[in-house]
Structure 1
Amino acid sequence: MLKTKVRYLSLLILFSFQAGAQTSALSVADSLFALGNYASAINAYAKVGDKKSNLHIARAYNAIGNYDKSIAQYTSILERNPNFDLARFELGKLLLKTKNFKPAMEMFNVLVSSEEKNPEYFYYLGRTYEAVNQTGNANKAFKNAVEMDSTHLRSLYALGKYYVGQEIKDSALVYIDKGLQFYENDVAMINLKALAFYNNGQFQLAIPHFERLLELGEEKPFVYEKLAYCYFRNWEPEKALDTYHKLTSFPDKLAVAYAGLGDVYFKEKELDSAQFYIEKSIEERMALFPREYASLGRIARLKGQTKKSMDYYVKAWEENKENYYNYYQVCVLADEYYKDPKTRLNYYEKLLEMYPDLVPWLEERVKNRITEIKEEIHFVGN
C-alpha cells in the first residue's frame, strides 16, 4: 500500500514538473512572439508542440512573410483539428491575401455554414467573391453580414462602394447612411456619400461632404479637384478659383488645376486670364489635350483672332480625329478667314469626305453651305 502511494506521489510530482516546464517554455515562446522575434519563437513553440503552439507557429511564419510554410502549418493543424474554426478563419484570410481564391472560398464557406453566426465570416467570403468578379455573390455575402450586425462598417462600405460605382445613388445611400449613423466621422463613408451625389450630377449636395473631408484632414488632391468642380458647376466662382488654386500645390495635378481655372475665367468672360491658364495647362499636360486646344480656339474667336482660333481647332482635331465637330469649327473659321471661295469649299468637302456619317442636322448645314459657295464660284466665274 505504501509503495503504491509512493509511486502515485512520484508520478504526480513528475507530471507537475513536466506541466510547469511546459508552461515555462510556452511563456518564453509567447514573450519571443510578442517582441517580434519570430524565428526564435517558432523554435520555442516547436518544443511545446500542443495545438496552441502550432497555431502560433503558423502565425509566426505569416508574420515573417513565409506564407507557404504558414499555409502548410495551418493545413496540418486543420487535418488534426477539423473543427478548429479560428485556424480555418486565419488560413482563409491568408489564402485570400496570397490570391489562392478557390481554397479561400472553401474555407469561408465551411465557416459560414457552421453554427457560429459570425458576420466576419460573411464579410471575408464577400471579399473573396469580389476578387473573382462574382459581384452578385459578394453583395449577397456582405448583406448577410449586415443582417447579422447592422453596424458592420466594412460590409456597409463594400455595398455602398458597389452602388456608387454603378451610379445607383439611392441604394448607395441606404448603406452609406447606416454606416454614418454608427460612425459619423468615417472618412471613407463620407467620401462615398460625396461621390454618390457627385456622380449623379447633384453638385450642390456633394459640396458639404467634400468640405467635411477637408475639415477631417483629408486634404488630398482628389478632394480639392472634385470640390472645385462642384463649386464651378454650382456657380460659386470665387470658391472654385480658390479651390483650384489650392489644387496647384499638388505637382501632378497642375494641368487639371490650370484647366479648371481656365474654365472658370472663361465662364466669367475674363478671356485673358482664361487663355493664360489654359496655355499653362497645355504646358503641364503630358498626354493629349484636344479639349484645351478647342477652349483656346473659342477664346481666340471671341477675341476676334480668326486665324489663331482656326490654328487651335486644327490642333484639337489632330489630337483627336474622331471628333468631327472640331474640324467643322475649322471649316467655319476657314470660311470666315479665306477670301478664295474654292479654298473655303475645299474645307467643307473634305469634312463630308472624312466623315460620311455626320449627324443629320450638321450634314444638312454643311451641304447647304457647299451649295452656297458653289453658287458664289459660278457667279464669280460668269
Structure 2
Amino acid sequence: MKKILVLFLLISLQAGAQSSALSIADSLYTVGNYVAAINEYAKEGNAQASLQIARAYNAIGNFDKALAQYDATLKSYPKMEIASFEFGKLLLKTKNYRPALEAFNALIAENQQNPEYFYYLGRTLENSLKQEEANAAFRKAVALDSTHLRSLYSLGKYFVGQEIRDSALVYVDQGLRFYENDVSMINLKAQAYFNNGQFQPAIPWFEKLIGLGEDRPFVLERLAHSYYRSYENEKAVETYRMLSVVPGYLADAYLGMGQAFMQDKQLDSAQVYIKKSIEERTETFEKEYADLGRIARLQNKTKESMEYYKMAWEENKENPYNYYQVCVLADEYYKDPKTRLPYFERLLDLYPDLPPFLKERVLKRVSEIKEEIHYAGN
C-alpha cells in the first residue's frame, strides 16, 4: 500500500512539473517572447506543446519552420483539427495553393458545417484563378452562416469588379443588414452604384464612408465626381478642395474644380483652375487641354478652342476624339472647303478603325465638303 502511495505521489509530482513547465512556456508565448517559449515547449513533447511551437514560429515570421512544425505535429497527431486548419491558412498565406486546397478539402470532408473552412477554401480557389469554384465555396459559407461577412464581402467584391450591380447588392445588403457600419461593405455599395454610372445613389454611401472617418483620397475623388455628375457643383468644388490638401492630388483636384465651375457656367473660374492643374502636373495634360478647348468653344473662341484640342491630341494621339474636335472646329472656322477637307481626310488616315458611328459621321461630312467643292468649281 505504501509503494502504491509513493508511486502515485511521484506521478503527481511529475505531472505538476510538466504542467508548471507548460505554464511557463505559455506565459512566455503570451508576452511575445517566442524564442524562449519555443525552448520551453520543446521540453514538453506533447501535442499542445508541438502546436504552440508551430504557432510561435508563425508569430516570429519564420514561415518555413512554422510549416515544417505544423507538418510534424500532424504526422504525430493526425486528428488535431485546429492544427490542420492553421496549417491550411499558413499554406494559403505563403502561396502554397495546391497543398492548401488539399488541407481545406480534407477539413471539409471531416466537417461540412464550418463556414470558415468553406471561406478559406474559396480564398484558395480564388488565388488559384478558379473564380467560379471560389464563388461556390463562398456561397456555401453564407448558406451555413448568413452573417458570414468575409464571404459576403468576397462575393460582393467579385460582382462589383464585374460591374454586375444587382448581384453585388444582394450580398452587400445582406452584410449591411447584419452590420450597418461595416466600412468594407459600405465601400462596395458605393462602388456598385458608381461603376454603374448611378452617381446620385452612390453619394450617400460615399458620404457615410467619410462620416466613419474613411476620408481617403479614393473616396473623396469619387464622391466629388459623383457630385459633379449629379450637377451638385458647389458640393463637388468643396470636396475637390478637401482632396487638394492630400499630397499628390492637387492637380486632379484643380482639374475637378475647373470642370465643376465649367458645368456651372463660371467659365473664368474654370479656366483658372484648369490652368493651375496644368502647372501642377508633370505628366500629360490631355484632359486639361480638352477642357480648355470646351471652355473656349463656349466662349465662341473657335480658333483658340481648336488650338487647345490640337494640344490635347498631341498629348495623346491614341485618342481620336480630340482630333475629331479639331476637325469640327476647323469646319466651323475656315470658309474655304479645300482647307476644311484635309482635316477630315487626315482623321480617316490616322484612325482607320474609328468607332462605326464616328466613322459614318466623318465619311458623310467628307462627301458633303467634296460636293461643296465640286459645285464651287462649277
Q: Normalising by structure 1, report the TM-score.
A: 0.92
Separation of aligned partners in 1, 2:174 and 2:5: 63
Q: Shift of the alpha carbon at 1:116?
A: 5.8
Of residues 338-347 and 220-229 in structure 1, the stretch that sits farther from structure 2 once superposed is: 338-347
Of residues 280-289 and 197-206 in structure 1, the stretch that sits farther from structure 2 once superposed is: 280-289
Match of 1:307 in 2: 303
Q: Shift of the alpha carbon at 1:115?
A: 3.2
CA contact (8 A) 1:349 1:370 kept: no
Which of 345, 349, 360 is residue 349 of structure 1 equivalent to? 345
User: Residues 44-59 of structure 1: matches in 2 within 5 Å?
Assistant: 44-59=40-55
User: Residues 171-182 of structure 1: matches in 2 within 5 Å?
Assistant: 171-182=167-178
Q: Shift of the alpha carbon at 1:173?
A: 1.4
- Gap runs ≥5 in structure 1: none
Residue 144 of structure 1 pairs with residue 122 of structure 2: no
Match of 1:368 in 2: 368
Matching residue's letter, 1:368: E
Which of 224, 234, 256 is residue 230 of structure 2 equivalent to? 234
Match of 1:222 in 2: 218
Residue 275 of structure 1 pairs with residue 274 of structure 2: no
Q: How many residues align?
A: 374
Task: State the secondary structure of the residue aligned to 1:252.
Answer: coil
- Gap runs ≥5 in structure 2: none
Separation of aligned partners in 1, 2:324 and 2:165: 38
Task: State the secondary structure of the residue aligned to 1:48.
Answer: coil
Which of 242, 252, 261 is residue 246 of structure 1 equivalent to? 242
Matching residue's letter, 1:372: E
User: Residues 65-104 of structure 1: matches in 2 within 5 Å?
Assistant: 65-104=61-100
Q: Shift of the alpha carbon at 1:101?
A: 0.7
Of residues 193-202 and 305-314 in structure 1, the stretch that sits farther from structure 2 once superposed is: 305-314
CA contact (8 A) 1:157 1:176 kept: yes
Matching residue's letter, 2:372: E
Deviations 1:275-304 (A, max 9, x none): 111222223334333222111112123334
How high is the sequence identity, in percent, across the aligned residues?
A: 61
Of residues 299-308 and 153-162 in structure 1, the stretch that sits farther from structure 2 once superposed is: 299-308
Matching residue's letter, 2:198: Q
CA contact (8 A) 2:334 2:340 kept: yes
Return closer, same or farther for 1:116/1:46 CA change in 2, 3 Å cut-off. Answer: farther
Match of 2:37 in 1: 41
Separation of aligned partners in 1, 2:243 and 2:47: 56
Structure ID, larger Rg:
1
Residue 258 of structure 1 pairs with residue 251 of structure 2: no
Separation of aligned partners in 2, 1:21 and 1:121: 37
Match of 2:107 in 1: 111
Residue 129 of structure 1 pairs with residue 125 of structure 2: yes
Q: Normalising by structure 2, report the TM-score.
A: 0.93
Separation of aligned partners in 1, 2:82 and 2:305: 69
Return closer, same or farther for 1:257/1:80 CA change in 2, 3 Å cut-off. Answer: same
Matching residue's letter, 2:343: Y
Return closer, same or farther for 1:230/1:70 CA change in 2, 3 Å cut-off. Answer: same
Deviations 1:314-345 (A, max 9, x none): 11112222333322332343455557765444
Q: Shift of the alpha carbon at 1:224?
A: 1.4
User: Residues 196-215 of structure 1: matches in 2 within 5 Å?
Assistant: 196-215=192-211
Deviations 1:176-223 (A, max 9, x none): 111111111111111111111222222221111111111111111111
Matching residue's letter, 2:67: I
CA RMSD of aligned residues (A): 1.9
Return closer, same or farther for 1:356/1:101 CA change in 2, 3 Å cut-off. Answer: closer
